[in-house]
Chain A
């Protein structure tokens, strides 16, 4: 139960942490209350109607000709019900409309944090945009935002249709190949939440998660400044060997480590890999054992993933993991 509650707090539209999600959850509660009340009333009316007994003899002979009074009562009841239905539908319609307005109110903001999110099978590439090209920062499967600031997400896809969904922040938004989409939101509550691809996108759709961190502007700035740095140089002999292993094997064909010769963009950016809490888009925690297992054969952890197995000797693998763990 506690575990369930913990999950519901990090990934639930009913535990909103942003303005948009707040309005969406309000709307959800209004609908749930009103519609449940109507359902209960209708069920009660039906039950009463069913339980009223009529002796067969009391019924008029066919063709049925109800009495004047009964006819009048019925038409009043039907009219009242129709009016109530129309009023309720209009109330819901307006609530819907104003919620929509409130959700998209941020669209006109001039001051915003511009982040590009690119969906890949099956991970998220996150680019923090900046007017100075050298300040554009790329990371993967994690999204940090400052509290109280409008965030503009530019959503793109590299292969198939994905859908970006951080339930604590906003509704879903599809990532469509060749057609960038945009989503605006604002985080109001500090915390770590979870995003998830919400459009079936292939074999490992379920393992396409994103860690979403809403933090105070100071913390955010510190994180961004650290993330913009190049990868630290290897210090120990093992780490140096690890770097060599990285450069002379398959790794370099797909990954980037800023500050080294590895500049490929097929797989996630590994510049600050050790600072992330998960690997493989949230499939497993970022621990030494999982990291080594992942490098040796990713297909065991996430069958179908695009990363191939890497047959390395145990010494090489150890050195490589040593190096990757130093990428804070």
Chain B
């Protein structure tokens, strides 16, 4: 009897602490206060200073990451970035980050748009969905938590699943030669 009670308590405690599968339908999404809104000059697009990271509450939540994966296809991110491998837009599964790898930098990339093709989704995608996208985009290069990242791709033949992606150190990268403006 005692063992059973103890086990019930342990299970309940385990359930409470299980954040991975939490689905906060009515919970206010993580705020988008700390968005980097630095204007970008022609000469130095990314800026070398990295802002202190904002914690994305969704990065440990498997549901949010998989929602991000769905939205990534639904909002046609795949149209340019493919399933991480890139195409018209840069690849997202490698360690090169033109505009920064921090969650809030990716957030502002999506919300503000970037030169040479990345459109601004301001007002078109609710903030919490942008954060879900951020969590998924980071998981593509192994920057998510292994517990929450999907362990297989939904595509026909995908890259290494995010949960077994080797962690890549983000580096700043300049724009590719082809994207540079021709001299006036």
- Chain A interface residues toward B at CB < 8 A: 203, 248-250, 252-254, 266, 299-300, 303-304, 308-311
Cβ B25 vs Cβ A250 within 8 A: no
Cβ A308 vs Cβ B128 within 8 A: yes
Query: Which listed residue (B23, B26, B123, B126) contacts A308, Cβ 8 A?
Result: B126
- Closest residue of B by beta carbon distance from A309: B126
Query: Which listed residue (B26, B125, B128) contacts A253, Cβ 8 A?
Result: B125
Cβ B25 vs Cβ A303 within 8 A: yes
Chain B 3-28 per-residue mask, 1 if CB under 8 angstroms from chain A, else 0: 00000000000000000000101100
* 15 extra A-B contacts, CB within 8 A, seeds A250-B125, A300-B26: A203-B23, A203-B25, A250-B123, A250-B124, A250-B126, A252-B124, A253-B75, A254-B74, A299-B26, A303-B26, A308-B126, A308-B128, A308-B129, A309-B126, A311-B126
Kindly state the separation between the CA atoms of A253 and B72 in the bound complex, as whole angstroms: 12
Kindly state the separation between the CA atoms of A311 and B26 in the bound complex, as whole angstroms: 14
The 9 closest A-B pairs by CB, nearest first: A308-B126, A303-B25, A266-B74, A304-B25, A299-B25, A253-B124, A299-B26, A250-B124, A249-B123
Q: How far is the CB of B124 from chain A (nearest CB, A)?
A: 5
Contacts of B125 in A (CB 8 A): 250, 253
Give me 10 A-to-B residue pairs in the complex whose CB atoms sit less than 8 angstroms apart, sorted by A's number.
A248-B123, A250-B124, A250-B125, A250-B126, A254-B74, A266-B74, A303-B25, A304-B25, A308-B128, A308-B129
Kindly state the separation between the CA atoms of A235 and B95 in the bound complex, as whole angstroms: 52
Cβ A249 vs Cβ B124 within 8 A: yes
Contacts of A308 in B (CB 8 A): 126, 128-129
Q: How far is the CB of A294 from chain B (nearest CB, A)?
A: 15
Contacts of A249 in B (CB 8 A): 123-124
Chain B's interface: helix, strand, loop or mixed, by majority? loop
Q: How far is the CB of B111 from chain A (nearest CB, A)?
A: 13
Contacts of B128 in A (CB 8 A): 308
Contacts of B129 in A (CB 8 A): 308
Q: How far is the CB of B26 from chain A (nearest CB, A)?
A: 6
- Closest residue of A by beta carbon distance from B123: A249
Contacts of A253 in B (CB 8 A): 75, 124-125
Kindly state the separation between the CA atoms of A203 and B67 in the bound complex, as whole angstroms: 15
Q: How far is the CB of B84 from chain A (nearest CB, A)?
A: 21
- Closest residue of B by beta carbon distance from A251: B124
Q: How far is the CB of A106 from chain B (nearest CB, A)?
A: 36
- Closest residue of A by beta carbon distance from B73: A266
Kindly state the separation between the CA atoms of A60 and B68 in the bound complex, as whole angstroms: 80
Contacts of B75 in A (CB 8 A): 253
Chain B 126-153 per-residue mask, 1 if CB under 8 angstroms from chain A, else 0: 1011000000000000000000000000
Which residues 6-61 of B sit at the A interface, judged by CB distance below 8 A?
Answer: 23, 25-26
Kindly state the separation between the CA atoms of A200 and B140 in the bound complex, as whole angstroms: 31
Cβ A304 vs Cβ B124 within 8 A: no
Kindly state the separation between the CA atoms of A197 and B74 in the bound complex, as whole angstroms: 24
Kindly state the separation between the CA atoms of A253 and B129 in the bound complex, as whole angstroms: 12
- Closest residue of A by beta carbon distance from B74: A266
Which residues 64-90 of B sit at the A interface, judged by CB distance below 8 A?
Answer: 74-75
Kindly state the separation between the CA atoms of A299 and B124 in the bound complex, as whole angstroms: 18
Kindly state the separation between the CA atoms of A249 and B126 in the bound complex, as whole angstroms: 9
Kindly state the separation between the CA atoms of A281 and B50 in the bound complex, as whole angstroms: 46
